[in-house]
Chain A
């Protein structure tokens, strides 16, 4: 490799931010001043290159301290890691939370996505922008869903510095959001996680039973409420015993694809190639989804325990928790939980004295919906652009770092705990024969009590909405998020199971249920969905990269039109949508048109 660095130098601050992560450089080969010894041999090279996966943490370190990433800072980081600057630039410009242009130290992300749009985000944005004009030291950025939909409209302030400061304002008013941005330290404390769980404290809850009941920082409290009994049972069963239980439980992945978890684990466990990796996908970026955040904020040790069980089952000694960059509180709670568990021998070389070694590293995303796609997530961890890989080969065979990898999302993993404590038959008795167990639903939009609800699979949409306090004049319900589909107010008897929603011609997706009453302008909403996919497309393949743009243009044209006037463009939308579904590399392009199509077909959006 033939690295070339320009002559831009990092500032002291930038250098300190990078050195805080890697320690001071050892030789001029990785960025220190030149010494005589450096002329005689080269150091850095391979050793540094093997740490390529620290590129994203490095970019975060600079962006956190300075607020943006300058040429000098990027070059210095590249020297430290032996990464070509052109590639690092490609990575830095991939993520929405990074900037390679100078900007103010404080960025206020104001959500303009579906639930927030329905709650008046555009007025909020306008208000904030008029208060925080140029020169205010705050850059106001319109953001896709921040995962705070139950408190829409939402804003997240990030103030660069050492340390970086964050503050959430939700539900946000102009005053509250401006305060959060200008003085994040004195902004009012965020509402506890349990506030997002209207059923909190109900003893029949299985997945949410500790949220709001235990102190999320206390490992002892977690243990006092049944924590770590599943891991003990896991050690008693042994890896194949765990996989048998999980298979018998019928657990299907909760991230949207509904793949049998036991089969995935079995396939990974039996791979001869080593090491094996475990990845927990906590990059919950589907608009309307916030359940993983609530679990991580309200019951963080449960995820640590569940990851340990999963790793033991598939023979992994290293696990990555890939946590979306927009979740500062979940990040802190998870980091604290991981550190405590390690200090108490529940992670590390010899877990519970069983001779099993496992540790968790937390990786922070930086604003890219596509990184929730499993192979894009691997690329992101490895320090490459978060572009999906083509499959086959599948992750169970060649995943993270080219090794057999099992990837599950937070909700899926947390289900493993009750499977082990109550036993597979009892777990499988919950729900329906083909969709077993409890399910979390993220209800938002125009309802009285938005939040995360836990119901056994099989409850109907109407029952769920009744719990959440559906309002009159319901116009449409979006199931499964932006990649899902709309249903009508007379579809309320659809059973909320994987098979039930499929039979009804829609999808459960990741468990999003967003209600919209007739005050919400449908064409604007559909436009927002199209805009979302255009923004989030990684750009790798033509059907998605250009198709999402052409679809958004067509929707713009018909925003105020209906009937025959819209027919041409609707035909165009269908043709492009069909090719996107058939020929795109990954699920983003394949599903980008689903919601709009369902709105046209089921809601008659432009009739």
Chain B
């Protein structure tokens, strides 16, 4: 996000980040300010179009006078705040969070995380071979998308996207609690028995690949998913008059998935089942 106000002028908040003066429009988060200042703060559960649940705690920073560390992604900047982003204390917590996550779920398809694990010298293996893991089989119960909760970090983004922040379908929610908490539809039923309308908006926001297109999942299983050779083309959906933007991901001359740009002021990345999944006719080559 840009830290330059584009709408109605807002007051500027002055504070310091790592000793440097920072000025951001009122309402900006510490993370907005850090990014505007070119500081690198890792994030996992934060998303550009959703209210962060601040659940992963990998973005924590030190704020002078605060007893605990604070999540940069959701704490608003306040005048006079003294923020420190890279102290030993903040780094320690980030490292432990990365270790805890990597020891309990499969982060192999989570972008950036491998780099952070290296940067923070995280050693997920030190909890021993018996460390509890999710160890769940992927749920493949429909032809459109796969739920592989073994990769889920419980960021709540899919729940928010399916619920009141985007889709208003409320097909999924968090069930259980503690380490046993899982994303589930009611009674843990298959997706096909739920309220899901297959808009795929939850896949759009999932930061870990726990939710993925069946097409992507199948290719990964077959070993021929290769992002480096894919092209992305943004176009307009032809199904109805709304004019949603579609980004077609193409590999080997085949559409392998469809996303939508989040900075589109009309859709913010939302699509319906047709725009998201209805592309097969394009590649029916008879």
Contacts and interface: CB of A to CB of B under 8 A. Distances in A.
A2 B96 contact: no
A284 to B, nearest CB: 20
Interface stretch (B2-10, B33-41, B140-148, B182-190): B182-190
Interface residues on A, range: 35 or more
Contacts of A429: none
A232 to B, nearest CB: 41
Chain A interface mostly: helix
B173 A541 contact: no
Nearest to A385: B174
Contact of B96 (A93, A94, A576, A585): A576
A537 B179 contact: yes
Contact of B104 (A87, A546, A579, A582): A546
B179 A4 contact: no
Interface in A545-563: 545-550, 553, 557
B93 interface: yes
Interface string A157-195: 000000000000000000000000000000000000000
A101 to B, nearest CB: 10
Given A542-B153, A553-B131, A583 B60 contact: yes
B71 A89 contact: no
Interface in B162-186: 163, 168-181, 184-186
A537 B177 contact: yes
B20 interface: no
A534 to B, nearest CB: 6
Interface in A275-316: none
Contact of A2 (B60, B69, B168, B175): B168
B54 A93 contact: no
Interface in A525-547: 534-543, 545-547
B194 interface: yes
Interface in A339-394: 368, 370, 385, 390
Contacts of A86: 170-173, 184-186, 194-195
Contacts of B194: 4, 86
Interface stretch (B122-130, B210-218, B251-259, B264-272): B122-130
A546 B179 contact: yes
A542 B169 contact: no
A407 B53 CA distance: 24
A387 to B, nearest CB: 8
Contacts of B104: 546, 549
Contacts of A578: 92-93, 96
Nearest to A552: B132
Contacts of B280: none
A572 interface: yes
B203 interface: no
B57 A584 contact: yes
A264 interface: no
A272 interface: no
Interface in A59-106: 71, 74-75, 84-90, 93-94, 100
Interface in A2-30: 2-4, 6
B102 to A, nearest CB: 10
B101 interface: yes
Contact of A579 (B97, B132, B180): B97
Contacts of B163: 84, 87
B168 A1 contact: yes
A581 interface: yes
B184 A541 contact: no
Interface in B82-138: 89, 92-93, 95-97, 100-101, 103-104, 126-128, 130-132
A264 B174 CA distance: 33
Contacts of A584: 57, 68
Chain B interface mostly: loop
A581 B60 CA distance: 12
Contacts of B193: 6
Nearest to B58: A542
A1 B156 CA distance: 19
Contacts of B103: 546, 550
B186 A540 contact: no
A584 B177 CA distance: 16
A84 B168 CA distance: 10
B165 to A, nearest CB: 13
Given A84-B170, A550-B103, A550-B127, A583 B57 contact: yes
B92 A542 contact: no
Given A582-B68, A582-B69, A550 B56 contact: no
Nearest to A75: B186
A84 B173 contact: yes
B68 A590 contact: yes
B49 interface: no
A85 B193 CA distance: 12
A575 interface: yes
B55 A542 contact: yes
B30 interface: no
Contact of B71 (A75, A390, A548, A572): A390
Contacts of B178: 534-539, 545, 548
A87 B68 contact: no
B197 interface: yes
B74 interface: yes
Nearest to A83: B170
Contact of B175 (A3, A93, A536, A590): A93
A545 B182 CA distance: 12
Nearest to B173: A90
A2 B195 contact: yes
Contacts of A4: 171, 194-195
B175 A542 contact: no
B24 interface: no
A24 B230 CA distance: 58
A81 to B, nearest CB: 13
A539 B100 CA distance: 13
Interface in A30-52: none
Contact of B130 (A2, A74, A553, A575): A553
B93 A543 contact: yes
A550 B178 CA distance: 13
Contacts of A93: 175-177
20 contacts: A4-B171, A74-B187, A84-B173, A86-B184, A89-B173, A534-B178, A535-B178, A538-B181, A539-B181, A541-B54, A541-B55, A541-B56, A542-B97, A546-B179, A557-B128, A579-B93, A579-B96, A583-B68, A583-B69, A583-B93
Given A3-B170, A543-B96, A557-B128, 14 more contacts: A2-B169, A2-B170, A4-B171, A86-B194, A93-B176, A536-B178, A539-B176, A541-B54, A542-B57, A550-B131, A553-B131, A579-B96, A582-B68, A584-B57
Interface of A: 1-4, 6, 71, 74-75, 84-90, 93-94, 100, 368, 370, 385, 390, 534-543, 545-550, 553, 557, 572, 575-576, 578-579, 581-585, 590
- 5 nearest A-B residue pairs (beta carbon): A4-B195, A84-B170, A539-B181, A579-B96, A90-B173
